[in-house]
Homo-oligomer: A and B are copies of this chain.
Amino acid sequence: MNISRTSFPRVVIIGGGFSGIALAKKLSKQEVQVVLLDKNNYHNFQPLLYQVSTGGLEPDSIAYPIRKILKDFPNFSFRLAEVNEIDSVNNLVKTDIGELKFDYLVVASGSKTNYFGNSEIEKYSMAMKTIPQSLNLRSLILENFEEALLTSDLNERNALMNFVIVGGGPTGVELAGALAEIKKGILPKDYPDLDTRLAQIHIIQSSDCILKGMSDKASAKAEDFLEKLGVNIWKNVRVTNYDGKTVTTNTDLTFETATLVWAAGVKGATIKGLEAEELITRGNRLLVNEFNQVKGYNHIFAIGDIASMITDEFPNGFPMMAQPAIQQGSQLGDNILKLIEQKPMVPFVYKDKGVMATIGRNKAVVDLPKFKFQGVFAWYVWMFVHLFFLIGFRNRMVVFINWVYNYVRFDREARLIIRPFKKKLNTK
């Protein structure tokens, strides 16, 4: 990769997610040369992907060009590249566009969907971790309803209208809530020829409550909200397989559906070269010390979802969410500068700012460290916080307008099949 060396030490950051961008901001205009690598030319705001899937937002509104973030950082280079391997002996990153030397390396490669080894589920289910995946899900949902019109077989028609969401975390809960609102407000008008009341939305949760990382109150209230919206919640049920038609579970329960959304788990997106057994911990994450140094290395760091920093309070590492990622990225920026100046680094301390999830119109649950609340006010807080954390004034404005419009009109206008998903499958 033809990036000329400057006189400053070179920091290579793999990944422009929450943690990578927070780190980048800290290193801007400092005496380091920074190269940021990402396989996309945009940063995307994962917490709102489910709204892209359900036609509430346009994909471009929750993404932001990485080059635009970096444009005022004279010491930065960005390259659109996929990292294949890390050579920690020669301090080299090997990518699809060539090799790159580093003095300091920060792995911020995030996480990917965890299918727990089930290749059939991986093949037939839909994930919602990236913008293209979210658009595929949007297309599939709409294509299934169009197809439901064409069949006179009642079982097949119902299967096309049913949704099974595996995993009752924030992603599953928020998606289920949005689908329930679509079922109520949009489908009857869009598909007058279908009896859309028959469309069923199921959440399957392997443990005994949804929103496991939140308070009991939040979990119970979310369940209550979802049930009022007509969502079926199946607790203590584990999905064992899905063949594209039937979902089987570890109980007698089976579900017929053309749409299985797999939101049951994520795992660290590790990179070849840093995969030694002693480095990898639960959830396929890289073991780091309190300075986010990967175990055994002085100059290689990991932050965000990929990093597992084990503390008394979090024996499995911090939750794979935006907050720990942002905080780690930000602090590592200071620590790298300290390390270069040979000053002592400051150990990372996680400040829990709370967790929240929205279920739908006027319905959200918020757990702040000292204050937990649910309902309309929580919903406003959820919206405010999400708008605040979106990057870019234009994105905030456009998302805000969409939300106001959708709220006032009980609508979601981006129900467009721009890239057919199913058709593509069929012609393969």
Contact = CB atoms under 8 A, between A and B. Distances in A.
Interface of A: 1-3, 40-42, 58-61, 63-65, 67-68, 71, 74, 77, 79-80, 97-98, 131-132, 135, 142-143, 146, 149-150, 152, 189-193, 392-395, 397-398, 401-402, 405, 409, 411, 413-419
B41 A417 contact: yes
B398 A65 contact: no
Nearest to A391: B413
Contacts of A98: 150
Contact of A42 (B65, B398, B409, B417): B417
B392 A67 contact: no
Task: Tell me the number of copies of this protein.
Answer: 2
A401 to B, nearest CB: 5
B42 A416 contact: yes
A416 B150 contact: no
Contacts of A393: 405
A140 to B, nearest CB: 13
A76 to B, nearest CB: 9
A64 B190 CA distance: 13
A183 to B, nearest CB: 15
A71 to B, nearest CB: 4
A65 B415 contact: yes
B79 A149 contact: yes
A2 B152 contact: yes
A182 to B, nearest CB: 12
16 contacts: A1-B150, A2-B149, A41-B142, A42-B417, A42-B418, A58-B58, A60-B60, A68-B415, A74-B192, A77-B193, A79-B149, A80-B417, A97-B150, A135-B418, A394-B405, A401-B401
A150 B2 contact: yes
A65 B402 contact: no
A117 B60 CA distance: 36
Given A394-B402, A401-B394, A419-B132, A60 B414 contact: yes
B146 A80 contact: yes
